Amino acid sequence: MLQYAEQLLKDYFGYDSFRMVQKQVIENVLNGSDTLCVMPTGGGKSLCYQIPALALDGLTIVVSPLISLMKDQVDMLRSNGIPADFINSSLTFQEVNEVMNHVYSQRTKLLYIAPERLENDSFCQDLKQLKVSLIAIDEAHCISQWGHDFRPSYRSIQKIFSLWPHKPTVIALTATATPNVREDICHLLQIDSESVFISGFNRENLSFKVLVGENKDQYIKKYISNNPQEAGIIYAATRKSVESIHAMLLQKGITAAKYHGGMFEEDRNYEQNRFLNDEAQVMVATNAFGMGINKTNVRFVLHYQMPRNIESYYQEAGRAGRDGVESECILLYSSSDEQTHRFLIDQSQDPTRIPIELQKLQQMIDYCHTENCLQSYMVNYFGEQEIQDCGKCGNCADERPKQDVTEDAQKVLSCVVRMGQNYGKTLTSQVLAGARNKKVEAFQHLTTYGILKHLSAKAVANFIDFLISERLLLVKAGQYPTIYVSPEGKEVLLGKRRVLRRTIVEKAVVVNQND
Ligand code: ADP
């Protein structure tokens, strides 16, 4: 069967071999096992259901929320000689009937539909008459409350499984599946853990770096003047910062384009094209820029602020080095980014999403404080098997020796315990640094009050972030997040575990310009 799949790959798509886990996924599907396939955008997920669709008897239904992309997919398949159709709200009643005639007379192999269509009973009754061998669920994270794009209509997908005496095989596909989303998809669609395949998140030609406390404007100007020939993107969180960075670069004589949601579409397109055609070296943009952009020679992506979660960061940073050439992804971190995101999340439309968003934000903050391999951090976040350290990210390349900071860690952890594990990072760091203000008064009697007073409260907060990224402290999410000691942290308190850190904590006198 697999040989046949390889033949189909060659005959219909002109490719010689499968990529990454495509082969295992296809084999699993052809064996009749329900499967989850997680690969980043551009990884090659479509072939994972298109090849089985060709290999199996009967029809494959592809559920996709991306109405605008359905037509492109179908056109591409047809141009490869594969009979495919789509039904969505862009079709007239008449056109839908025509498509259904194709389907009934078995003149189509793949039928793309929007999930809302499955809420229509008479459509489901029509489906019941057909021989459906495979149901492919694209953008499968939409089925999960934990996903960034939950769609209630995705929950109707399960209902159609019982339309036929034999349930068709199911393949779910997504680019964003953190452990929670993955578990949710598997639980809702009853997919076994052996049938989950994840690959492709490792981007070997990218070197990631996090810079803390840099003067961001100076850094950007210097970086671009050191790389005068290279195209790059600078992502900023707000329209206002896009405007000011853009103006700053123009003043330096750098050809810069800009892109954000507050501009007229015409101006946005004009600016985008200048960047795509290499007329502008640098694009300064909000996250509105980048979807569907195919510029392969982007050599650097700088983030002026920390994005709100790893998914966004991975997607934006991942626009560097599409051509496989070495490229850099640099995040300029300042602790105020965290406050901005917390504020925005608190204002969020849907309060049920707040804890989820806060947890994702915490994982983003951890990325900024970890001293472990950044590439591995990202790959692990997406649930792919552990990879070897990349050897070139900011942390792997950091040659400073690690210092034993166990004693300071014990001081922090014991202070957290003494405060009842019921307070946040800021207050705890003020207590440790021996600050004098109304809020810390209640803790002045503690033996841990001022126990790190040779450090600034900010440096202590930074150290706490590091301990969180090491999972020695955990964060209880909420409007006022609190910190508590993890089981590993308890081992540190008991002297059973040591803590090593590269970063030298700055003394109280050092004032950070940027924060
Ligand atoms: P995804 O759905 O994961 O975003 P696609 O399925 O659109 O990605 O695939 C991205 C590109 O990679 C497409 O142009 C596709 O034709 C190409 N591709 C997929 N699999 C292979 C392969 N085995 N060999 C060569 N090219 C492939």
The number of residues making up the chain comes to: 515
Confidence of residue 510 (pLDDT cuts 50, 70, 90): very low
pLDDT, mean of residues 423-429: 95
Nearest-CA residue for atom 9 of ligand 1: 44
pTM: 0.82
pLDDT above 70 covers what percent of the chain? 97
Q: Can you tell me which atom of ligand 1 is nearest the CA of 39? A: 3
User: Which tokens belong to 14?
Assistant: 């002109």
Separation of CA 41 and ligand 1 centre (Å): 9
Separation of CA 432 and ligand 1 centre (Å): 53
**If you search the block for the tokens 């993890």, which residue do you land on?**
486
Q: Can you tell me which atom of ligand 1 is nearest the CA of 40? A: 3
pLDDT, mean of residues 214-221: 95
- Cross-strand pairs, 301: 233, 329
Confidence of residue 506 (pLDDT cuts 50, 70, 90): low
User: Which tokens belong to 412?
Assistant: 């922090």
86: helix, coil or strand?
strand
pLDDT, mean of residues 361-374: 94
pLDDT, mean of residues 258-281: 95
Nearest-CA residue for atom 26 of ligand 1: 15
Confidence of residue 507 (pLDDT cuts 50, 70, 90): low
**Radius of gyration for the chain, computed over Cα atoms and rounded to the nearest angstrom:** 26
Amino acid at residue number 286 = T
* Structure confidence at residue 505 (pLDDT): 62
Give the Cα separation of 118 and 153 in Å (integer).
Answer: 8
Separation of CA 156 and ligand 1 centre (Å): 28
* Structure confidence at residue 11 (pLDDT): 95
Whether the predicted pLDDT of 1 surpasses 90:
no
Separation of CA 15 and ligand 1 centre (Å): 10
Separation of CA 21 and ligand 1 centre (Å): 12
Separation of CA 196 and ligand 1 centre (Å): 19
* Structure confidence at residue 503 (pLDDT): 74
Residue pair 257/272 in contact (Cβ under 8 Å)? The answer is yes
Whether the predicted pLDDT of 347 surpasses 60:
yes
Residue pair 432/413 in contact (Cβ under 8 Å)? The answer is no
Separation of CA 30 and ligand 1 centre (Å): 19
Q: Can you tell me which atom of ligand 1 is nearest the CA of 175? A: 3
User: Which tokens belong to 170?
Assistant: 């199911």
User: Which tokens belong to 185?
Assistant: 């998809």
Q: What ipTM goes with this model?
A: 0.98
* Structure confidence at residue 38 (pLDDT): 94
* Structure confidence at residue 278 (pLDDT): 94
The residue whose CB lies within 8 Å of the most ligand 1 atoms, and thus the one to mutate among 13, 74, 293, 315, is 13
Q: Can you tell me which atom of ligand 1 is nearest the CA of 48? A: 6
Q: Can you tell me which atom of ligand 1 is nearest the CA of 138? A: 2
Residue pair 132/164 in contact (Cβ under 8 Å)? The answer is yes
* Structure confidence at residue 354 (pLDDT): 86
Helices (H), 9-111: 22-30, 46-55, 67-79, 93-104
CA distances from 368 to 100, 275, 505 (A): 52, 29, 16
Nearest-CA residue for atom 16 of ligand 1: 44
Nearest-CA residue for atom 20 of ligand 1: 44
Separation of CA 200 and ligand 1 centre (Å): 12
CA distances from 109 to 10, 76, 125, 135 (A): 18, 14, 19, 12
Nearest-CA residue for atom 10 of ligand 1: 42
Nearest-CA residue for atom 18 of ligand 1: 44
pLDDT, mean of residues 273-299: 92
How many other CB atoms are found less than 10 A from the CB of residue 453? Answer: 14
Residue pair 136/63 in contact (Cβ under 8 Å)? The answer is yes
* Structure confidence at residue 513 (pLDDT): 38
pLDDT, mean of residues 386-407: 92
Strands 132-137, 110-113: pairing is: unpaired
pLDDT tens digits along 19-67: 889 999 999 999 999 999 999 887 899 999 999 999 999 999 999 988 8
Of 305, 424, 308, 307, the closest CA to residue 357 belongs to 308
Of the spans 136-140, 149-153, 290-294, 505-509, which averages the highest pLDDT? 136-140
pLDDT, mean of residues 111-136: 93
Q: What phi, psi does 90 have (nearest 5°)?
A: -80, -10
Give the Cα separation of 45 and 144 in Å (integer).
Answer: 19
* Structure confidence at residue 352 (pLDDT): 79
Separation of CA 443 and ligand 1 centre (Å): 59
In degrees to the nearest 10, what's the CA dihedral of 311, 384, 335, 464? 150
3-state secondary structure 165-221: CCCCEEEEEECCCCHHHHHHHHHHHCCCHHHEEECCCCCCCEEEEEEECCCHHHHHH
How many other CB atoms are found less than 10 A from the CB of residue 57? Answer: 8
The mean pLDDT value of the chain amounts to 91
How many other CB atoms are found less than 10 A from the CB of residue 479? Answer: 9
Residue 436's contacts (CB-CB under 8 Å, 6 or more residues apart) are none
pLDDT, mean of residues 293-302: 92
pLDDT, mean of residues 469-497: 92
Give the Cα separation of 5 and 30 in Å (integer).
Answer: 9
CA 182 to chain centre: 13
Q: State which H helix or E strand residue 360 sits in.
A: helix 354-369
pLDDT above 90 covers what percent of the chain? 74
Residue 127's contacts (CB-CB under 8 Å, 6 or more residues apart) are 61, 160, 163
* Structure confidence at residue 69 (pLDDT): 82
Q: Which residues line ligand 1 (CB under 6 A)?
A: 15, 18-19, 22, 39, 41-47
Strands 231-235, 298-303: pairing is: parallel
Question: For residue 37, with 0-12 CB atoms within 10 Å meaning exposed, 13-18 middle and 19 or more buried, which class applies?
Answer: buried
pLDDT tens digits along 401-417: 999 999 999 999 999 99
* Structure confidence at residue 459 (pLDDT): 92
pLDDT tens digits along 153-200: 888 898 899 999 999 999 999 987 688 889 999 999 999 999 999 988
pLDDT, mean of residues 202-210: 94
- Cross-strand pairs, 333: 212
Q: What phi, psi does 41 have (nearest 5°)?
A: -55, 135
CA pseudo-torsion sign 158, 163, 167, 173: negative
Q: Summarize the chain as % helix, strand, coil (round to 5).
A: 45, 15, 40
The residue whose CB lies within 8 Å of the most ligand 1 atoms, and thus the one to mutate among 19, 38, 46, is 46
> Roughly what angle, to the nearest 10 degrees, separates helices 457-469 and 425-432?
130
Give the Cα separation of 6 and 16 in Å (integer).
Answer: 8
